[in-house]
Structure formats: structure tokens, C-alpha cells
């Protein structure tokens, strides 16, 4: 049996949801305790990727607080980097979701998937969108559907890909709309970490996917989990901008309205090549987002993604 490590950090009561009777929970680690990482072999079968080796992750602005915000957890093997660590989200999910049957079934499913299949994103990035952004820092929510399913693309933030990877079509169309709307230059990479560090929750409705198999982890429990995240955020905060692109994202509007809190919901077609010309181009969602934030005395988003070169 692998050794157990107990990491203790003084518990911090969430300012958003104080509860004096927290239930004990098992850590979400059944599928995060695995063997040493393996480098992927190169695959010449027409992938869009420019490299098949796992890029080393460098902490972005805002990520340095992840360990500081950790709650008390018991981890087999000590793989803390692969766990939920941001205290405000952790407190909510530990109290409300981790013990539910759907979540236990999801954990069992993923445990088998990680053992028998290639799964994206890497384990340490599955909860990246939560671990790098506390509930009280969220200004904007962008909803995606499924992580990218080719090698080295998915990085735990919807629509975003690692530097050195070809920019996917949907993201390229987002860049085009940004240029039209705010005169932003179009970068030659697709890493959107800068947006997350400014308070944009970049959430996929499914947080994992099997390699080369789109939607392979849908209907397994992730949707229920991420729906709870959206609903909790909408209830806990106000004046958040929700960008809902495409029907799947727009189906989540009911979760936002159910909160009864004041938010801005912007809807349009999805930025994919199949639908961008049917209402995404020209939606001006980026400038509308900043206008709303300014109106509510919230720092606007700097949407420009810096790049060594531009298109």
C-alpha cells in the first residue's frame, strides 16, 4: 500500500458559506493516485498538434496562492497538485457534492479511464479552472463543452490550448471577434491563462475526455457537478457576466436565473467554424462585458493576449 501523507493547514471558514457542522469527506483522489507520468509517443496520423511531448506547466499570475488556500486533506501518495485545493470551491463541493452517489460513480469511472485509456487534460489540470480562481474573485464565466481531445491541447481552461499548439478554429474565431470589437491583435498561440488570472472562470461542462473521442466523458456525472458550480456561483455573487455561446451553453441560463441575483447573460451562436457566421461574429460580447463591469465599479478585462508575434 502506498504511504499516506496528512497535510494540515488551519481550516478557514468560507466568507460566502459558513457552516459549523461540516461533514467529513474522503478526498477526491481515487483516480488521481497513479504511476509516474509517461511521455507520449509521436503520432503522425494527421493530428493538429505541433508537438506530442507534454509541455512543462509554468505557474501563471494568480496560481501561486493555490497551496496557500488548501484545506486539510489526506492524500495517498502525496499528489496534492492533482486535488481540489482552492478553499472556497473545496468547502462547497466537499459539503454538497463529494458524498453523492453520482460523484462516487464518476470517480469510479474516471479511475478506470485513467488506468486503461489516455485521458485529457493531465490530472493536475482537471480542476485548474477552480483551483486558480476563488469564488469571490470571479467576474466573468465562459462556458465550453468538452476539453480538446488531441495530445497536449487541453489545459483545464475551456477554449485554451498550450503554447506551441496550433490554435483551434473556435479560438481563432474568438480572436477575430476581439479584433473587430476591441481592435485586439491576434496572437500566434492559444494560451488564455491571462484571462483566468483576471477573474474569468473558463469552465467546460465536462472536465475530462478520452483521447481522440469527443464527448466520451459526457453523461458520466460531470454535467451535474459543473451545473452545481454554476448555480452556486450565481447564488453566492452578483454582477457576474455569463457568456453563453451555442445551445449547450445557453441551456445553463436557467441555473443563473434560478439564483434570483443580478447578473448579465450574453448569448450568441458558438464560435466554431460551423456556426460563427450565424451570430457569433459581430456579437460584441467582449466590449459589452467590459461596459457592464465598469458600470458596476468592477475592474474590466484586458482581453489582449500577448504574443511574441501576431497574425
pLDDT digits (tens, 9 = 90+) for 47-76: 333 334 444 444 443 333 333 333 333 323
pLDDT at 109: 87
| Contacts for 51-60: CB closer than 8 Å, 24+ residues apart | 51/152, 51/164, 51/165, 52/151, 52/152, 53/152, 54/122, 54/152, 55/152, 55/162, 55/163, 55/164, 57/124, 57/125, 57/155, 60/132, 60/193, 60/194, 60/196, 60/197
pLDDT of 2-23, one tens digit each? 444 343 334 433 444 444 444 4
**In the chain, what percentage of residues exceed pLDDT 70?**
73
Task: Determine which one of 43, 44, 146, 302 is catalytic.
Answer: 146
Specify the range with the lowest mean pLDDT, choosing from 83-97, 119-133, 246-260. Answer: 83-97
Do residues 152 and 211 lie in contact, with contact meaning Cβ atoms separated by under 8 Å?
no
- Band (110; pLDDT cuts 50, 70, 90): confident
pLDDT at 24: 41
For the record, the C-alpha cell of 51 comes out as 508537438
- Band (29; pLDDT cuts 50, 70, 90): very low
Tell me the average pLDDT across 177-198: 98
- Band (230; pLDDT cuts 50, 70, 90): very high
| 146 tagged catalytic | yes
Question: In this predicted model, which residue has the larger pLDDT, 21 or 210?
Answer: 210
pLDDT at 33: 43
Cα separations (Å) of 9 from 80, 141, 168, 172?
13, 29, 40, 42
Specify the range with the lowest mean pLDDT, choosing from 55-64, 134-143, 196-205, 211-220. Answer: 55-64
- Band (310; pLDDT cuts 50, 70, 90): very high
Looking at every residue in the chain, the average pLDDT score rounds to 80
pLDDT at 4: 40
Residue 199, pLDDT above cutoff 50: yes
Q: What are phi and psi of 96, to 5 degrees?
A: -115, -20
pLDDT at 83: 55
Tell me the average pLDDT across 151-176: 96
pLDDT at 48: 38
pLDDT of 269-306, one tens digit each? 999 999 999 999 999 999 999 999 999 999 999 999 99
Give the chain's domains with CATH numbers: 86-295 (3.40.470.10)
Residue 142, pLDDT above cutoff 60: yes
Tell me the average pLDDT across 96-101: 87
Amino acid at each position: 500500500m502506498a504511504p499516506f501523507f496528512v497535510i494540515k493547514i488551519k481550516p478557514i471558514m468560507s466568507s460566502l458559506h459558513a457552516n459549523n457542522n461540516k461533514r467529513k469527506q474522503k478526498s477526491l483522489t481515487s483516480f488521481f493516485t497513479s504511476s509516474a507520468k509517461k511521455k507520449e509517443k509521436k503520432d503522425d496520423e494527421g493530428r493538429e498538434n505541433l508537438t506530442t511531448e507534454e509541455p512543462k506547466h509554468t505557474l501563471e499570475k494568480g496560481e501561486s496562492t493555490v497551496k496557500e488556500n488548501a484545506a486539510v486533506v489526506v492524500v495517498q501518495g502525496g499528489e496534492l497538485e492533482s486535488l481540489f485545493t482552492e478553499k472556497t470551491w473545496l468547502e462547497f463541493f466537499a459539503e454538497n457534492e463529494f458524498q453523492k452517489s453520482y460523484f462516487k460513480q464518476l470517480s469510479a469511472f474516471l479511475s478506470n479511464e485513467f488506468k486503461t485509456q489516455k485521458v485529457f487534460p493531465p490530472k493536475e489540470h482537471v480542476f485548474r479552472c477552480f483551483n486558480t480562481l476563488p469564488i469571490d474573485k470571479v467576474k466573468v464565466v465562459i462556458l465550453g463543452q468538452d476539453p480538446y481531445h488531441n495530445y497536449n491541447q487541453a489545459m483545464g481552461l475551456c477554449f485554451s490550448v498550450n503554447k506551441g499548439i496550433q490554435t483551434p478554429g473556435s479560438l481563432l474565431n474568438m480572436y477575430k471577434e476581439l479584433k473587430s470589437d476591441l481592435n485586439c491583435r491576434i496572437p500566434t498561440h492559444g494560451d488564455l491563462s491571462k484571462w483566468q488570472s483576471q477573474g474569468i472562470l473558463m469552465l467546460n461542462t465536462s472536465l475530462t475526455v478520452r483521447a481522440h473521442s469527443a464527448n466520451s466523458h459526457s453523461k458520466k456525472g460531470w454535467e451535474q457537478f459543473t451545473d452545481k458550480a454554476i448555480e452556486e456561483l450565481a447564488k453566492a455573487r452578483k454582477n457576474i457576466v455569463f457568456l453563453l455561446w451555442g445551445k449547450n451553453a445557453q441551456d445553463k441560463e436557467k441555473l443563473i436565473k434560478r439564483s434570483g441575483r443580478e447578473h448579465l447573460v450574453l448569448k450568441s451562436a458558438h464560435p466554431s467554424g460551423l456556426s460563427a457566421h450565424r451570430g457569433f461574429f459581430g456579437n460584441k460580447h467582449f466590449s459589452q462585458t467590459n461596459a457592464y463591469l465598469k458600470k458596476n465599479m468592477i475592474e474590466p478585462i484586458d482581453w489582449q493576449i500577448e504574443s511574441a508575434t501576431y497574425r
